[in-house]
Amino acid sequence: MGIKIVIAGAGIGGLCAALALRKKGFDLAVYEQSAELSEVGAGLQLSPNAMHVLARLNVADEIKALGFQPSAAVMRHYQTGAHYFSVPLGASATEKYAADYLHIHRADLHTALYNACIEEGVSVHLGDAVLGYQLHDNGVSIEFESGTHVQADLLVGADGIKSKVQACMLGESPAEFTGQVAWRGTVKANKLPKNLVKPKANLWVGPGQHFVSYYLRGGDLVNFVAVQERDDWRKESWNEAGDINELKSAFKGWHPEVTELLQGAESCFLWALFDRKPLNQWVDKHVALLGDACHPMLPFLAQGAAMAIEDSYALAHCLVSNLPIPAALEKYQNLRLARTKGIQLGARKNAGLYHMRTPIDQAKLAVLSGLSKLGLSDALAAKQLDGIYGYNLPKNLG
């Protein structure tokens, strides 16, 4: 198309953007600061809104083969196991939303996107980070850590919550520590008692903590995420090893389905959860932000990867219009701002509910418990999720 695009970051958002843009015929290159492509051993959830996009990018079938399709999403009391709600997934979600709900290992998704990019002829450069940019009349000059400069028509900042592109666009604004840390890891299913972990998205909520478990890789692995409120750990690295015995101690006294799962775990990662207030600006003439670089998501709605995937398709769609690049990027920003802001704030709000933080949160859980006994909470929870899962971006854009 005669437009040269540089993408900063080869994570899920950057690779998905590269794939979406390349399929539209754009000339592009991806630059990643890491010397090798790797993803931490942890899972993520791909709801139907993300799968609609991945289907348009012709990678949905491969991803489904690599993942696991849960039968439901369930929220339960941390000790008694009493249900607050259960939302049908599996075939019910596929029928309702015309796309699957999947759990997938982060590394499997990353590899599938990378291989698809290579097949499309995308150039991926490792070990060279984008430091900043300078705008000129018809494009952008991009500065790299190596000291080189590249001229392009468009720079896409998909370089995460510590985005250098965002800092250059808006100035330095450090992310805020939430007072919560997340432990993550996987356990081989054959090391656990049979049927211990239900084939669902399992959410256990308790005072100051919550715990999530689900299957990956067709049921061969069990993924867990354990979130705890504490102020003595502020390292943000996904690759920082946690103390597995400390994790087991932190969830002592929880339901046996939690404690027995953790007994089978031999290692884990630990990182602090940081957050940013929603931004009102994502674009700067010939520069656009995407994914965590503009809307980092706390993991309490499981939409971080999905929002980056949606961003990628929206950006590609806007750029194939006949608009000048600055106008196309404004269109992209306007298309995405309200949706990502709502989900960003919704995820933050869920942290209080999951951790029984305030009397109001405790009252909400009590109401959910009462409605569950009447068979009403499931429908209420499903309705709350419809606005997220039922969003079909490719169909909406035509």
What is the token pair recorded at 293?
């670089």
Q: Taking the alpha carbons of 249, 255, 258, 260 in that order, is the dihedral positive or negative?
A: positive
* Residue 222 near residue 286, CB atoms below 8 Å: no
CA distance 42 to 268: 9
* Residue 186 near residue 224, CB atoms below 8 Å: yes
* Residue 230 near residue 271, CB atoms below 8 Å: no
Our measurement of the distance from residue 322's CA atom to the centroid of its chain's CA atoms, rounded to an integer in Å, reads 31
CA distance 278 to 156: 18
Give the pairing of strands 287-289 and 154-157.
Answer: parallel
> DSSP states of 16-38 as a string?
HHHHHHHHTT-EEEEEESSSS--
> DSSP states of 263-293 as a string?
HT----EEEEEEE-PPPS--B-SSEEE-GGG
Burial class (CB in 10 A: 0-12, 13-18, 19+), 372: buried
CA distance 16 to 22: 10
The amino acid at residue 145 is E
Task: Count CB-CB contacts under 10 A for residue 91.
Answer: 11
Spell out the residues 6+ positions from residue 314 whose beta carbon is closer than 8 angstroms to its own: 332, 335, 336, 393, 397
Helix axes 90-97, 48-56, angle to 10 degrees: 60
Phi, psi of 204 (to 5 degrees): -115, 130
CA distance 10 to 78: 37
- DSSP-assigned letter for residue 241: B
Q: Which of 78, 97, 101, 214 is catalytic?
A: 214
CA distance 248 to 209: 13
Q: Is 214 a catalytic residue?
A: yes
Active site residues: 214
